[in-house]
């Protein structure tokens, strides 16, 4: 391979820079109408009356769809094994912000104005909105990411008895929201009983399946198109109510309908990270060896369905300890259902676990890195399997050296810069290496260019670039002669772009299709008397930079010339690639180490983070530039998790009162200091044919803990409830 691993530019970059990349809401179809959601204003109850006369009298209004006249759907609109949607099938209100009507008009302004004229009367019921009150009825979910909610190994009680040091601490994280630059958007159009959706989604194939099942259609009657996603982060990994409502409205009107959520509507009906409370118990010998680990997780969910936040799964595998237990419990509140949010489980789980490890290091008067090295797991302690690869020790070493950890005075409040308190903290990062079945198609055109296709998605992560590189190397063509297409259910099927699995899943299929084309080319050349590779053993034929010839010999001929002599034919190959049994033989994870430097104003409690160093062992980087970009982006999100992000709900009506970007604080340029990202060389022949691990989610893990640990070092104050705001330090 020649281009894989290089920092190649994004082929879609010019489109985005010039504003010509078309996202879901950018599609405009002839006769298209605009729809907006009307949302409930109470958290629990029933709709007694909806007066829509005022809305229908407004200029340009084409329809107002409510539970009184919405088309009846199979199983009341519930697609098996997917989210419970609000599709106007009854008068029940389950949370504040639930869609209860759709207004459709000629323009969006007209639809928004008409929606304001809707008058709704409710019969209110007493809601449950208090986390503390609901904890009395907490219960275990059926499973947590496909695993048992609870686990135990060894004898935790005996482990604690034999320990020299014991720590018990409770850590909490608030509800958080995704806030991608592009809001959720759907354009729905029907023609001859077939539905086309232009949707901002992380899974075009999954969206087709869910929408078809919800509407009672065969899957082949639904097409989903999504060439670009302006950020997903897990929030666009599910089909939400607005997608199906747009399709319902378009079918009823007989014209295309576009439904774009405004920013405030992103808080409630499209999921979020739930509020979580985690209790950690650690017991260790005087040399730091863990004798007992306990991790209890309590997370909120909705009354509509269970959403399991898998925060303790990371504890089961990260450190070597013979005596361990973990539990997961849910409590039901009258809120919108939570969902995946960048590194769901691992981001919150590493915050609690890595904060507790730092506290234990302090109790033991031990360096935090030394404590982690003392408990380094050489094999997966949960499954008893070797890791497919693990470079965590090297991440600690390189990170400490680049960060300057040796200059750290371990005493809290011992370091200053100017008049500010200075602190250094670190934490471990980790995320599983996922992979799923994926398909791809490659076509080599008579002019020597190639078109490679897979029904994957690009969430802004660089999928176009990475797949073009993989295809170019497999085909033996320069990047300029390869075009990659994705984001359409008419293309070969690919999995959801979630769980950091797109490269690990789709790239092997792209590579296999490209290698098949290469094989066909070699066979043509060997059998062609006019080819410089005629009669040469296949292993001695090279296809490189668009030319084919004999290995060790200069020159050769262009692929285009070879194809021209054979009637200008097009070569095509299809590949369907799936994981084997390697997961039964190896535990597969990416690992890293995060180091943070903070400065804290002792009078104002303001925290600044001038520098973060993240070092990762994530297999082979397909594109160095986009990989570093993704890891740095995760670090920025971890900065927000640590210091600024929190959804504030009204305790009386359940509505998110800071539901916009003016009041829900995400890090901006002024908040982000220097970020240095490094990847240590790592060869993993087991994880997939390219040896690449997912990197989209590991970047956020460990960051909040590293910052919290640095704040403790700077101030002597241990903040266990995120975000770390000035009031908690004063």
Active site residues: 697
Altogether, the residues listed in the chain come to a count of: 730
Taking residue 282's Cβ as centre, other Cβ atoms within 10 Å add up to 26
Closest CA to 7 of 629, 687, 512, 514: 629
* Residue keyed to tokens 């697609």: 79
Radius of gyration of the chain (CA): 27
Residues 118 and 101 sit within 8 Å (Cβ to Cβ): yes
Please name the residue that has the structure tokens 């959804």.
Answer: 647
Per the CB < 8 A criterion, the answer to whether 2 and 473 are in contact is yes
In whole angstroms, what is the distance from residue 574 CA to residue 452 CA? 10
Continuous segment of H or E residues that includes residue 248? helix 241-253
Instruction: Give strand pairing partners of 597.
Output: 424, 611
Give ∠ CA 205-689-541 in degrees, rounded to 5.
115
Kindly give, in sequence order, each residue whose CB lies less than 8 Å from that of residue 551, ignoring residues fewer than 6 positions away: 540, 541, 542
CA gap 26, 186 in Å, rounded: 10
Torsion of CA 145, 146, 147, 148, to 10 degrees: 100
Nearest to 580 by CA among 692, 436, 456: 436
Rounded to an integer, what distance in angstroms lies between the CA atom of residue 247 and that of residue 195? 8
Angle of helix 624-643 relative to helix 463-475, nearest 10 degrees, comes to 160
The H or E element containing residue 369 is helix 368-374
Q: How far is CA 71 from CA 87, 215, 503, 728, in A?
A: 9, 10, 40, 51
Tokens of residue 406, six digits? 């040796």
């Amino acid at each position: 391979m020649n281009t894989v691993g290089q920092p190649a530019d994004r082929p879609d970059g010019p489109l985005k820079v010039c504003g010509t990349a078309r996202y879901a809401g950018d599609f405009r179809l002839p006769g298209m109408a605009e729809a907006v959601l009307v949302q409930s204003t109470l958290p629990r109850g029933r709709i007694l009356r909806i007066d829509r006369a005022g809305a229908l009298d407004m200029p340009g209004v084409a329809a107002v769809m409510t539970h009184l006249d919405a088309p009846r759907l199979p199983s009341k609109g519930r697609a098996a094994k997917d989210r419970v949607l609000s599709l106007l099938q009854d008068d029940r209100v389950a949370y504040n912000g639930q869609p209860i009507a759709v207004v459709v008009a000629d323009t969006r302004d007209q639809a928004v104005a008409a929606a304001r004229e809707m008058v709704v009367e409710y019969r209110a019921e007493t809601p449950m909105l208090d986390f503390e009150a609901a904890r009395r009825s907490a219960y275990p979910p059926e499973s947590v990411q496909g695993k048992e909610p609870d686990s135990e190994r060894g004898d935790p009680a005996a482990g604690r008895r034999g320990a020299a040091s014991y720590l018990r601490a409770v850590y909490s994280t608030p509800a958080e929201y995704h806030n991608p630059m592009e809001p959720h958007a759907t354009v729905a159009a029907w023609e001859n009983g077939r539905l086309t959706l232009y949707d901002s989604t992380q899974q075009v194939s999954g969206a087709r399946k869910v929408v078809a099942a919800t509407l009672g259609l065969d899957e082949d009657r639904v097409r989903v198109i999504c060439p670009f996603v302006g950020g997903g982060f897990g929030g666009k990994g599910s089909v939400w109510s607005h997608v199906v409502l747009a399709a319902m409205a378009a079918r009823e009107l007989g014209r295309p309908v576009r439904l774009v959520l405004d920013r405030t509507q992103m808080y409630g009906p499209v999921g979020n990270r739930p509020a979580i409370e985690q209790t950690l118990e650690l017991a260790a010998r005087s040399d730091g060896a863990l004798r007992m680990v306990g991790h209890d997780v309590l997370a909120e969910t909705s009354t509509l369905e269970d959403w399991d936040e898998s925060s303790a799964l990371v504890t089961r595998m990260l450190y070597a300890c013979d005596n361990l237990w973990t539990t997961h419990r849910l409590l039901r509140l009258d809120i919108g259902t939570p969902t995946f949010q960048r590194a769901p489980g691992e981001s919150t789980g590493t915050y609690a676990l890595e904060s507790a490890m730092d506290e234990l290091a302090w109790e033991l008067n031990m360096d935090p890195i030394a404590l982690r090295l003392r408990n380094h797991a050489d094999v997966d302690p949960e499954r008893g399997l070797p890791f497919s690869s693990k470079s965590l020790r090297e991440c600690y070493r390189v990170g400490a050296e680049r960060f300057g950890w040796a200059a750290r005075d371990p005493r809290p409040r011992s370091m200053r810069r100017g008049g500010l308190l200075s602190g250094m903290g670190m934490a471990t990062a980790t995320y599983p290496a996922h992979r799923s079945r994926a398909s791809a198609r490659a076509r080599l055109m008579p002019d020597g260019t190639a078109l490679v296709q897979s029904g994957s998605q690009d969430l802004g992560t660089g999928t176009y670039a990475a797949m073009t590189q993989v295809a170019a190397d497999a085909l033996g063509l320069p990047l300029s002669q390869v075009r990659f297409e994705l984001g359409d259910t008419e293309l070969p099927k690919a999995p959801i772009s979630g769980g950091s699995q797109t490269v690990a899943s789709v790239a092997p299929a792209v590579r296999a299709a490209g290698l098949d084309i290469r094989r066909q080319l070699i066979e043509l050349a060997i059998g062609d008397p006019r080819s410089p590779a005629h009669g040469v053993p296949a292993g001695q034929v090279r296809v490189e930079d668009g030319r084919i010839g004999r290995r060790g010999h200069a020159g050769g001929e262009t692929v285009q010339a070879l194809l021209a002599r054979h009637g200008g034919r097009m070569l095509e190959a299809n590949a369907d690639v799936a994981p084997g049994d390697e997961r039964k033989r190896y535990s597969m994870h990416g690992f890293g180490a995060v180091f943070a430097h903070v400065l804290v104003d002792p009078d104002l409690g303001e925290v600044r983070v001038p520098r973060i160093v993240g070092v990762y062992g994530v297999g082979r980087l397909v594109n160095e530039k986009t990989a570093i970009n993704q890891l740095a982006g995760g670090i920025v999100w971890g900065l927000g998790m640590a210091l600024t992000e929190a959804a504030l709900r009204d305790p009386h009506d359940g509505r998110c009162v800071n539901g916009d970007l003016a009041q829900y604080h995400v890090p901006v340029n002024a908040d982000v200091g220097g970020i240095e990202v490094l990847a240590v060389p790592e060869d993993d022949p087991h994880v997939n044919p390219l040896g690449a691990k997912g990197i989209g989610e590991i970047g956020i893990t460990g960051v909040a803990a590293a910052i919290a640990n640095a704040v403790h070092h700077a101030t002597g104050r241990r903040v266990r409830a995120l975000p770390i705001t000035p009031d908690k330090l004063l």
